[in-house]
Structure 1
Amino acid sequence: MNPKTKSCAGCLKRITNGNHLSCYLCSDTYDLDCANINFQLFTTMSKDRKDKWTCPKCHNKKKKSDNTNTPIIPKLGQKRNRRDFSSSPDETESNTVDQVTQRKKLQTSVSTDSSPSHIDESLLSTIRLEIQSSIDRSLKTVIESALKKEFEAIKIELNTLKDLKTGIEFLSDEYDRMKTELKTSEEKVKLLTNSNNSLLIKVGELSQRLNLIEQHARETNIEINGIPEGKTENLNNIAKQLCSVISIPSQVVEAASCTRVRKMNDTTSRPRAIIVKLLSVSKFNKKNPNEKLNTTHLGFTGTKTPVYVSEHLSPHYKALHARTRQVAREKSYEFVWIRSGRIFVRKNEHSPAKQIKSYETLDKL
């Protein structure tokens, strides 16, 4: 047998577990059955109580309480009366018998559970267990209720987040769609811009060609400005007289081509220009710088006004020529002239001539 293994002093069985008590008087060891203690009470016993535990054998050996206060024995310090001894022996015997307190015999085996302390401990343990169980149930109910409320709130929040997620996904899809459409639109705008630029270049080229064609159609025309208008005027006679003055044979004048044209500025008081289609243009003013062509040369009386003979320009080149004369005055250019429908400028006699093809060329002067 293992020397460390203990045996119960009551049933002499070996104790294989730690559920036992040792008497602090006789040091005998008892299992819980022989100690008459249930396991629940054993687990609630404090260490101090276990150390002061007494076995049933030692508990029965304890001295009984003092019985000096019984009726047959006088109290301490009280004298007996002599008349107590004067009674007859029979009376004395009967009185003695009547006054003797009869005690019940003690049971041979006294259970530790029957003691008031053990009963109180068992009751307190049961009460503690009931209270603990009630508290546990209450706490469980409260916790479950609180958790249920929290879970409901979390569930609502999750549903809200789900709806929010759906909304965000929808907005994201719409953003991607709009981004794709914007990219497509940007590409279309870029293509249209390139196409528009190409068309503008072509339109500019066509406009320039049209202006050249219009100007070429006017190469044999001259424009006469400054001739007074009259209701009975004869433009052919005026053209023939002009040709005779500037030494051009009158047969070069084409009668069908003599006509007045509308003024570019209707508010001016100057007379409308006369267009005459000639085969050649004279240089009368260069030969007569002191007496340039004027109305007296053509037989008009009254105030002498200059007469200007120039090539018949298209509306585009006529406006460009007017703008060129204005810019030339602003930038101190001395010479502006037209030759074969082309506009030229020169800063002075020593500078080279520059052709004005468009307004952009004019801006670079």
Structure 2
Amino acid sequence: MSNVKKVCNGCRSAIEDRRYLRCSNCQLFYDLVCANVSEQRFYNTMTVDHKAQWRCVLCMSLQPKFDNTKTPIRVASTEVTMREGAAVATSPLALDVLAVEQPPSLTDTLNDTAHNVTIEITDFQSFVMEMRAFREEIREEIRANRLEAKRLNDSVVMLANRIDNCESGIKKLNERIDQLEVSPPPARDDVSSLSSEIDQLKTELNDRNQELLLTDIELTCIPEQKEESLLHIVSVVATKLGVDLSEQDIVSAARMGRTIDATQSYAIPRPRPIVVRLARRATRDKLLEAAKVRRGATTENMGFSGKTCRFFINERLTKHYYA
């Protein structure tokens, strides 16, 4: 078997594999591109007989066409050529005429024609492949647009459902408001009775709180000093009023209000009151009566430093009376 490399008669390039066809007429080789045969057809459709009987474009173009010419001898003036489909002459005279008329470069011209046809077919195949790729891109874009449109449609449907729910809730609220407007208002008598009961309960609560303060008195305008003894101050005040008061009669004594800060630069307008709880109510009544008799008593000769001032004794009341 010959080892000569096969050369495609169409594109003049070497054939390296088995994907080629051999013309049954001229015995020349053509690759699948120049033969205009797809690989699918070459491997699946064409049989061994088809490949053996295959003819190239050049041989197909040289095949004579029948024009019903029955003349035995054709002269040169008839202008019938092989391209026009005339039958091949068999007489010596006809052969001589054809030999004279045939140009010397006919084979090269036919080869160039086949090569041009092959190039045109290859360009057409490339154009078809580009169109197919462009079609696939268009399809992908259409699929993406459809998917985006579907998502947008789903979002619109969801928003429409939310709007419907909001409208339904607003409708229910409007119906509720209409019912409240139509229904009669609560009876004023009930409101008045409830208000009376509340006032009564407040009064009872205040009375009970006041009962808890029956043994308390409140001393006001008593000068406030550091490290003072409130029990001693209460005893001095009782002596000033002429009431005999021992420490056993005093349960507790404390100043009410905010504690004075020594670092404060501003002056306190008046001292804090002293709240005294006594052991018996009778003792409290004695002190209140003595304060009424000696109205206008002052802190003179009571051991307080500073300017002499008046002091007052009152019964202790709840916040209700100060309101």
Fold agreement, TM-score > 0.5: no
Larger radius of gyration: 1
TM-score calculated relative to the size of structure 1:
0.33
TM-score calculated relative to the size of structure 2:
0.37
